[in-house]
Structure 1
Amino acid sequence: MIKKEIAIGFIVGLIANSFGIALYILIFLGTDIFENIMVARQENYFSKIVALGAILNMLAFFGFLKIKRDYRARGVLLATIIIAIFTFFEQFIF
């Protein structure tokens, strides 16, 4: 049961990050999401967009804490940590 709750939180964290990335691109970069992602990867600022997209994870994390879903909040935190590791590798290794 605990693993299921953490998995739900993890999936919510990934979805929140995806929506955050899409929202950032739509608001600040233009209308075509996929073209802007390709340009961001070519100009090496995609990892910055991913990091800014993770801001929506805060809403999910504190929302789960507010409704006493601590294990789901842990899943969101786990997703955020994995996204941070991905961002590190994207920025400094690749």
Structure 2
Amino acid sequence: MGNKKDLIIGILLGIIGAVVGCFIFLQFFTDYGFIDGVTLMKKRGILNKVITLGAILNLIIFFILLQKNKDIIAKGVVLAMFLITILTLVM
């Protein structure tokens, strides 16, 4: 039961990491806020690229988890990356 809980924690951590990464990118590298930036990027058709850039933060999370021997949670982060990849391909 603990493995499933750790995997779910990893997936949630990966999704939250991607959202925070998108937020950081839109706040610091564009002239728009988060909500305005997301709507503008969606209109321009480049929201999937912003999501991909935001997911770079998951690399840092992944390596920190590996250093702390949290392998199951790190697997959840990788699974979240696969889900984000599928999401960006569909969009």
Judge same fold: TM > 0.5, yes or no. Answer: yes
Quick one: percent identity of the two aligned structures? 30
Per-residue deviation, 1:59: 0.7
Unaligned runs of 5+ in 2: none
Give the aligned partner of residue 13 of structure 1: 14
Give the aligned partner of residue 41 of structure 1: 42
Unaligned runs of 5+ in 1: none
Q: Give distance in 2, aligned partners of 1:29 and 1:45.
A: 13
Give the aligned partner of residue 31 of structure 2: 30
Q: Superposition RMSD on alpha carbons, in Å?
A: 0.7
The one-letter code of the counterpart of 1:35 is: D
Give the aligned partner of residue 52 of structure 2: 51
Per-residue deviation, 1:30: 2.1
Per-residue deviation, 1:27: 1.1
The one-letter code of the counterpart of 1:64 is: L
TM-score using structure 2 length:
0.96
Q: How many pairs does the alignment contain?
A: 90
Deviations 1:45-81 (A, max 9, x none): 0000000000000011111100000000000000001
TM-score using structure 1 length:
0.93
Give the aligned partner of residue 2 of structure 1: 3
Which stretches of structure 1, 4 residues or more, deviate above 6 A after TM superposition?
none
